[in-house]
Structure 1
Amino acid sequence: MRRRLLAAAAVIATVLAISAAPALAQEGNEVVAEPLTADAVQVALDNIWVLIAAVLVIFMQAGFALVEAGLTRAKSVANIMMKNLMDFCVGVLAFAAVGFAIAFGTGNDLFGTSGWFLDSAEFTKNYLAESTLSLPTFFIFQVAFAATAATIVSGAMAERTKFKSYFVYSFLITALVYPVVVHWTWGGGWLANLDTPYIDFAGSSIVHMVGGIAALVGAAYLGPRIGKYGPDGKPRAIPGHSIPFAIIGVFILFIGWFGFNPGSQLAADGVVPAVAVTTLIAGAAGGVAAMAAIWLKTGKPDVAMTGNGVLAGLVGITAGTAHVNNWGAVAIGAIAGGIVVAAVLFFDRVRIDDPVGAVSVHGVCGAFGALAVGLFATTDGSPLGADSVDGLFYGGGASQLATQAIGVVAIAAFVAVTMVIVFGGIKLVLGLRVPEEEELAGLDVAEHGAPGYGPDVLGGSGIGDFSLVGVPVPAGK
């Protein structure tokens, strides 16, 4: 015990000594000491915290991959993992080359025109100009968000999309489509410059709705999976092959959201833990509300739908996480949890086959989250306090709600039109959907040369209306 106390005391003493030590600066050929100020310490803390938050957001890619893999069939699991891997890899390169400049470079109210390949230091009056973050820190945090917007689409297009076509889509949304929306808002563009500025603290609409709208267009172009609808036109369940994968993925995403939302403060200050609380309770409320809604609807507390309810609550709170109090967070999360159940059932009825519910979770609940700022934002008890605004429910009138509605409609329309062009062009040039025989057999071997699971797994029992290896079996067997 004594040795442990001595070791702890030594560590504390070392930290204090480092903190008190002067900083070193280069002047010509000489290295001179400079006093370490409180401001310098704050700058270091801000950058370290945002880098940690960026890593948490990057870790969300693993959560997305597991949720999508778990809620789809084993015969395409390698394809799903490959799409999520490439969303991140191609996303980093595309955003570094052109996306970051379009999003944050100097230009006009619609898009940036400087900073290509991270070479320029000229940026608009935005989060970077107003923060203590270095350009590398800010870029890493923002590129993690860009990859998130891209990977949302993977689940809605699962089990039937050509990989090369998906790869092209992933590059284009990260390089061109998503950055334009960012410039309108976080980059100091026209939505940020309205008389009542648009508010989306961490990306309910900027990230999640962008991905959700793109997912809707992609799923509509592809059409439903073979066997999703019976001869009577009614949707049939095609269960995923691993609920444990899906729920582990939900937990990973929940953890990652503590980088997503608190990290968006872009500083290490007292707002960070308060934002973490609103994030936490909204996600929990979303899970409980979705469980209750599906239980009332079907008589069973469906596990996958409950997991999507958690994600819906997190998506819903993301725009207003720093602008609402704790009770507002509970309300937003619970409403989003109910909305996602209704949305999933609705899209099933209108023949939008979305295997993981990405359109409902990210698109519908992302739009709701942005609108909710105009209703639930308050200067009383929110993480930002007096720096927040008062929404309709707190006596602030309808001006903020009107701005939020303008932003949601504008972003949704822009993404829908551009993605119709993107997916339409890809379908015309490369084709979008795999042949029927490949879809029935699974995409792993046809698209990537090897199955995601070995023959001992794939040779097992059937799942849903189709076996793991894609051989049709009678419904209900």
Structure 2
Amino acid sequence: MDTDIGALTVIFTEFYYWVTVPLMFLIHVGFCMYEVGATRHKNHMHTLMKNTMLIPLVTVTFFFFGWWIYFAFPNGPGITGGITQSDNAVPWGELMGTHLGGPGVNDTGPTMGYGVELGNSFWARLNGVFWAAFLLFSWTAASIVSGATIERIRPSAFWILAVVIGSFTWIIDAAWGWHPDGWMVTQLGYHDAYASGVIHAIAGGFALGVIVPLGARIGKFAPDGTPRNINPHNKWLVTIGLFLIYTGFWGFYVACNVPIIGSDAIGAAEGTFTATTIYLTPTTLSAIVFNFLMSLSGGLIAGYVVSKGEAFWTYSCGLAGIIAASAGNDLYHPIQAMLIGGIGAVCAYKLHFWVERRFKIDDPVGAIAVHGYAGFIGLVIAGFVLWGHPATAGYHAETAFITPWGQLMGAIIMFGVLGFLPAFVVSNILKSMGMLRVPLAVELVGLDMSEDMADERDAIQVSEADIAEAKRLGLLT
């Protein structure tokens, strides 16, 4: 390391990101509790194991190719340039191990990739914690999809889809729109500081792309198409799960910042920022504290009012409020964050029930609305509120500025192009192979007897008379 200050910066940054990882782990704990609480008793273990096993599957695939995609694809490729060489992210590279980068660890070059100005000493100490923080974002994206598909998807099908979003599509959108050199940032002026679109809109769009071919749960819609309310079996577990997600989001927000980065490392003006966003623009932890809590409060208040005090949607709208404001929470005034959080929560609530009635979309936990619709709306709102602000740090030769049309295009790319379309294609392929949805008998008896359990054969004991009775009651249409 060149100086004592440089050494201290790297060591502090390493510890900073290390702390965010267990905090973000609480998001996954919260999702597990939330989803199990939202399912009926006969589907508990299926839901828990489905969401648990995405952890190793996404982790392994993210190690082998997901991390590399982030550094390799900021140009598209083919939009503003080719594939970027990224020595720090290849799985067989010496920087992807525990031996601190091997020979030349104190060199300042010629490592290729994002952050090369800090040299191998930077990546040797920070590559693992950066990788882990992004990995936890991957788990979050996959868990959002998990909630929307409960009680009828095959575990194997979900795990394939989890790898698609967790280690491929979301990390492409991060390379495009969550990287200071990403083509969406430099060409469209796309700004999404805390991942309204990069995580939430894409996950919501992906969930919708899965649900359309997957179909609704048995009994969700009456023969005339009227939606039935299938209540969570344990609302207490749901609310505790959402509280844990709120807690984990503190780590999520903190991990979206880069602490104490020297101006010489990013080519910015003189001086040292206490923190920057993912776009290397200056921010502070105080901005997180103000705007996170104000957007959460706006969402909770709006959710309580619009749902008439219904607990499930009050808590869910709190999360929707955070997500709606996240795109610009590095720049908003706290009052703006509160108002945007409230607007996003109301829109998510209203759109959920309108889409359910109009298009017969069965989303048991409201994931598409809370994450997808709120994230999409939040991106568009940021385009108007932050119109004219630089989208990234000023060290670029050409710095794009935030605009409503740039944010709208970004929202469409996140929700539709990288979210809905890949999920719809892969899900239809799985459906054509008979791999997407569990058999009718299994769904009636309960998915705890499905393919991830030892007693799947017991589901065959469901008689034709049981199925006939379900049809008579209008549960099967």
TM-score range, shorter chain: 0.7 to 0.9
- Name the counterpart of 1:335: 343
User: Relative to structure 1, is the Cα distance of residues 406 and 106 closer, same or farther in structure 2, using a 3 angstrom cutoff?
Assistant: closer
Q: Which runs of 5+ in 1 are unaligned?
A: 1-24, 26-33, 296-300, 389-397, 452-469
Q: Tell me the matched-pair count.
A: 407
Aligned residue runs from structure 1 range 230-241, under 5 A: 230-241=222-233
User: Relative to structure 1, is the Cα distance of residues 191 and 330 closer, same or farther in structure 2, using a 3 angstrom cutoff?
Assistant: same
Residue type of the alignment partner of 1:309: C
- Find the partner of 1:149 among 126, 141, 145: 141
- Name the counterpart of 1:403: 406
**Residue aligned with 1:447, SS:** coil
Q: 1:145 offset after TM fit, Å?
A: 0.6
Q: 1:127 offset after TM fit, Å?
A: 11
Give the whole-Å Cα distance in 2 for the aligned partners of 1:118 and 1:276: 39
User: Relative to structure 1, is the Cα distance of residues 426 and 106 closer, same or farther in structure 2, using a 3 angstrom cutoff?
Assistant: closer
Q: 1:48 offset after TM fit, Å?
A: 1.0
Q: Could you tell me whether the CA contact under 8 Å between 1:324 and 1:378 is conserved in 2?
A: no
Which has the larger Rg? 1
- Name the counterpart of 1:439: 443
CA-based RMSD of the aligned residues comes to 3.1
Give the whole-Å Cα distance in 2 for the aligned partners of 1:92 and 1:317: 29
Q: TM-score, normalised by structure 2?
A: 0.78
Give the whole-Å Cα distance in 1 for the aligned partners of 2:116 and 2:257: 9
- Name the counterpart of 2:25: 58
- Name the counterpart of 1:285: 298
User: Relative to structure 1, is the Cα distance of residues 254 and 123 closer, same or farther in structure 2, using a 3 angstrom cutoff?
Assistant: farther
- Name the counterpart of 2:209: 217
Instruction: Please give the per-residue CA displacement for 1:90-135, whole angstroms capped at 9, x wherever unaligned.
Output: 1111111101111123674336565332627655447997988711
- Name the counterpart of 2:265: none
Give the whole-Å Cα distance in 2 for the aligned partners of 1:118 and 1:273: 39
- Name the counterpart of 2:327: 319
Q: Could you tell me whether the CA contact under 8 Å between 1:286 and 1:310 is conserved in 2?
A: yes
Answer yes or no: is 1:420 the counterpart of 2:424. Answer: yes
User: Relative to structure 1, is the Cα distance of residues 400 and 437 closer, same or farther in structure 2, using a 3 angstrom cutoff?
Assistant: same
- Find the partner of 2:69 among 73, 95, 102: 102
Q: 1:472 offset after TM fit, Å?
A: 9.8
User: Relative to structure 1, is the Cα distance of residues 65 and 366 closer, same or farther in structure 2, using a 3 angstrom cutoff?
Assistant: same
Give the whole-Å Cα distance in 1 for the aligned partners of 2:53 and 2:156: 11
Give the whole-Å Cα distance in 2 for the aligned partners of 1:120 and 1:363: 38
Q: 1:448 offset after TM fit, Å?
A: 2.8
Give the whole-Å Cα distance in 1 for the aligned partners of 2:151 and 2:115: 40
Q: 1:71 offset after TM fit, Å?
A: 1.6
Instruction: Please give the per-residue CA displacement for 1:317-375, whole angstroms capped at 9, x wherever unaligned.
Output: 22212121101110111111111210221122020000000000111011112222223
- Find the partner of 1:368 among 377, 386, 400: 377
Aligned residue runs from structure 1 range 100-139, under 5 A: 100-105=67-72, 108-110=75-77, 114=86, 115-117=89-91, 119=93, 124-125=113-114, 134-139=126-131
Percentage of pairs with the same residue: 26
**Residue aligned with 1:448, SS:** coil
Residue type of the alignment partner of 2:307: I
Q: Could you tell me whether the CA contact under 8 Å between 1:100 and 1:118 is conserved in 2?
A: no
Instruction: Please give the per-residue CA displacement for 1:26-67, whole angstroms capped at 9, x wherever unaligned.
Output: xxxxxxxx9x83332232222211221122112200111111
Instruction: Please give the per-residue CA displacement for 1:181-223, whole angstroms capped at 9, x wherever unaligned.
Output: 11112243310221x5211112110111111011001111111
Give the whole-Å Cα distance in 1 for the aligned partners of 2:322 and 2:384: 17
Q: Could you tell me whether the CA contact under 8 Å between 1:319 and 1:370 is conserved in 2?
A: yes
Q: Could you tell me whether the CA contact under 8 Å between 1:257 and 1:314 is conserved in 2?
A: no
Answer yes or no: is 1:191 the counterpart of 2:166. Answer: no
User: Relative to structure 1, is the Cα distance of residues 156 and 385 closer, same or farther in structure 2, using a 3 angstrom cutoff?
Assistant: closer
Give the whole-Å Cα distance in 2 for the aligned partners of 1:361 and 1:228: 20
Q: Could you tell me whether the CA contact under 8 Å between 1:323 and 1:385 is conserved in 2?
A: no
Give the whole-Å Cα distance in 1 for the aligned partners of 2:362 and 2:246: 25
Give the whole-Å Cα distance in 1 for the aligned partners of 2:116 and 2:191: 13
- Find the partner of 1:309 among 317, 332, 340: 317
Q: 1:447 offset after TM fit, Å?
A: 2.7
Residue type of the alignment partner of 1:405: L
Residue type of the alignment partner of 1:193: T
- Find the partner of 2:368 among 359, 362, 369: 359
Q: Which runs of 5+ in 2 are unaligned?
A: 78-82, 96-110, 261-273, 276-283, 395-400, 456-468
Residue type of the alignment partner of 1:186: W
Q: 1:434 offset after TM fit, Å?
A: 0.7
Residue type of the alignment partner of 1:311: L
Q: Could you tell me whether the CA contact under 8 Å between 1:261 and 1:276 is conserved in 2?
A: no
Residue type of the alignment partner of 2:320: A
Q: Could you tell me whether the CA contact under 8 Å between 1:290 and 1:340 is conserved in 2?
A: no
Q: Could you tell me whether the CA contact under 8 Å between 2:152 and 2:447 is conserved in 1?
A: yes
- Name the counterpart of 2:197: 205
- Name the counterpart of 2:268: none
- Name the counterpart of 1:20: none
**Residue aligned with 1:193, SS:** helix
Q: Could you tell me whether the CA contact under 8 Å between 1:145 and 1:207 is conserved in 2?
A: yes
- Find the partner of 2:56 among 84, 89, 101: 89
Q: 1:308 offset after TM fit, Å?
A: 0.8
Q: 1:249 offset after TM fit, Å?
A: 0.7
Q: 1:136 offset after TM fit, Å?
A: 1.1
User: Relative to structure 1, is the Cα distance of residues 363 and 137 closer, same or farther in structure 2, using a 3 angstrom cutoff?
Assistant: same
- Name the counterpart of 1:459: none
